Amino acid sequence: MAGSPDELHMRKRLRKINTKTTAEEKTATGTTKWEGEPVSPAGQLFHEPSFNCHIISIFGLGIPINNVDAVIEGLQATLVRHPRFSSIPVLDESGSKKVLRWRPVEVNMKDHIIIPSLPSEPTSPSSNDQLVEDYVSSLSLTTMDRSRPLWEFHIINIPTTECAATAVFRGHHSLGDGMSLISLLLASTRQSDDPTKLPSLPPHRAGPLYVLPRPEEGICAFLLWIFSFVVLFWHTLVDVVLFVATTLFLRDTETPLKGHKGMECAKKQFVHRTIRLDDVKSVKNAMGCTVNDVLVGVTSAALSRYLYRKHCETKDEKKFPRNTRVRSTLLVNIRPTPGIHALAEMMEEGKTDAKYGNRIGYMMLQFPIVIHEDPLDYVRQGTAIAARKKNSLEAIASYFNAKLIVKLFGTKALTLHYQSYMNTMKVVMAVDDSVISDSHQLLDDFVESLSVIRTAAEKLSKKN
More confident residue, 249 or 458: 458
pLDDT band at 21 (very low <50, low <70, confident <90, very high): very low
pLDDT in tens, 46-67: 777 666 688 888 989 889 998 9
Q: Supply the pTM of this predicted model.
A: 0.75
More confident residue, 208 or 291: 291
Share of the chain above pLDDT 70, in %: 73
The whole-number pLDDT of residue 440 equals 92
Cα 429 to chain center, whole Å?
10
pLDDT band at 346 (very low <50, low <70, confident <90, very high): low
For the chain, which domains are there?
A: 5-12+32-175 (3.30.559.10), 250-463 (3.30.559.30)
For residue 349, pLDDT over 70 is answered with no
Share of the chain above pLDDT 90, in %: 23
Which member of 82, 112, 154, 173 is catalytic?
173
The whole-number pLDDT of residue 32 equals 43
For residue 6, pLDDT over 90 is answered with no
Q: What is the 3-state secondary structure (H, E, C) of the chain?
A: CCCCHHHHHCCCCCCCCCCCCCHHHECCCCCECCCCCECCHHHHHHCCCCCCCEEEEEEEECCCCCCHHHHHHHHHHCHHHCHHHHEEEEEECCCCCCEEEEEECCCCHHHCEECCCCCCCCCCHHHHHHHHHHHHHHHHHCCCCCCCCCEEEEEECCCCCCCCEEEEEEEEHHHCCHHHHHHHHHHCCCCCCCCCCCCCCCCCCCCCCCCCCCCCCCHHHHHHHHHHHHHHHHHHHHHHHHHHHHHHCCCCCCCCCCCCCCHHHCCCEEEEEEEEHHHHHHHHHHHCCCHHHHHHHHHHHHHHHHHHHHHHHHCCCCCCCCCCEEEEEEEEECCCCCCHHHHHHHHHHCCCCCCCCCCEEEEEEEEECCCCCCCHHHHHHHHHHHHHHHCCCHHHHHHCCHHHHHHHHCCCCEEEEEEEECCEEEEEEEECCCCCCCHHHHHHHHHHHHHHHHHHHHHHHHHC
Mean pLDDT of all residues in 385-399:
78
For residue 111, pLDDT over 80 is answered with yes
pLDDT in tens, 394-417: 777 766 665 555 555 555 688 888
The whole-number pLDDT of residue 9 equals 35
Lowest mean pLDDT among 96-110, 161-175, 346-360, 361-375: 346-360
Whether 173 is catalytic is yes
Mean pLDDT of all residues in 79-108:
83
Q: Which of 5-19, 316-330, 395-409 tops mean pLDDT?
A: 316-330
The whole-number pLDDT of residue 257 equals 78
For residue 373, pLDDT over 70 is answered with yes
pLDDT in tens, 206-231: 555 555 666 667 788 778 878 888 88
